[in-house]
A and B are shown apart, each in its own frame.
Chain A
Amino acid sequence: ETGVTQSPTHLIKTRGQQVTLRCSSQSGHNTVSWYQQALGQGPQFIFQYYREEENGRGNFPPRFSGLQFPNYSSELNVNALELDDSALYLCASSLERGKHTQYFGPGTRLTVL
């Protein structure tokens, strides 16, 4: 059974640029959630996708957007990068939406200069 995978591992961008992060969910899981973890903080919920539709969003601006594909993999897109976007971005998948355990990938470390 393959776990949650994320790419790339690390990324360096400059302010104002756009970035796309990718996540492959665990086999059999149809729900993907994205979290942002700033240095020294706990992860914060960005949004969740269920069967290709956004299914809930945290307190993040619209320049954070996402997609989920028919195979349930997902992308997180961030436009107009700001310095404060520097963080570890974590993807988690779960069997279904609702109160199911979320399993996390290794994360993508984004640095904005």
Chain B
Amino acid sequence: AQSVTQPDIHITVSEGASLELRCNYSYGATPYLFWYVQSPGQGLQLLLKYFSGDTLVQGIKGFEAEFKRSQSSFNLRKPSVHWSDAAEYFCAVYNSGAGSYQLTFGKGTKLSVIP
């Protein structure tokens, strides 16, 4: 089964600084990868996804992610963080088993933004 690792539990950045959240996956073939964001007590909002093609993916709210097969990574980046970006971020990969495709999530990275 595929798995996802988010090495950083909590990251704090200053407003206006750049951001990179790390995600590593384990999978033999080409993975289907996602980044979701969750504000406190809320559901998950899709930021971006990678299925195939261009390895640099653009998402909403100015986020982008780069798929690097050689490093088994799909890191999320933003050039300038806004206070409203404070939230929890989840990387996920599609896992196939028993006839269905289900998302396997990392444990999340909590982002705090200092004014």
Contact = CB atoms under 8 A, between A and B. Distances in A.
Interface in B66-115: 90, 92, 94-95, 97-108
Contacts of A102: 103
A99 B32 contact: yes
A48 interface: yes
A103 B41 CA distance: 17
**Chain B at the A interface: SS class:** strand
Contacts of B108: 41-42
Nearest to A35: B103
A4 B43 CA distance: 10
B36 interface: yes
> Counting chain A CB atoms within 10 Å of each CB, which of B32, B36, B44, B90 scores highest?
B44
Given A42-B105, A104-B43, 16 more contacts: A33-B103, A35-B103, A41-B108, A42-B106, A45-B102, A45-B103, A45-B104, A55-B99, A56-B97, A56-B98, A56-B99, A98-B101, A99-B101, A103-B46, A104-B46, A105-B43
30 contacts: A4-B43, A6-B43, A33-B103, A41-B107, A42-B90, A42-B92, A42-B105, A42-B107, A42-B108, A43-B103, A44-B105, A45-B102, A45-B103, A45-B104, A48-B100, A55-B100, A56-B98, A56-B99, A56-B101, A92-B44, A99-B32, A101-B34, A101-B49, A102-B103, A104-B46, A105-B43, A106-B42, A106-B43, A107-B43, A109-B41
**7 tightest A-B CB contacts, nearest first:** A56-B100, A42-B105, A45-B102, A104-B44, A106-B43, A104-B43, A48-B100
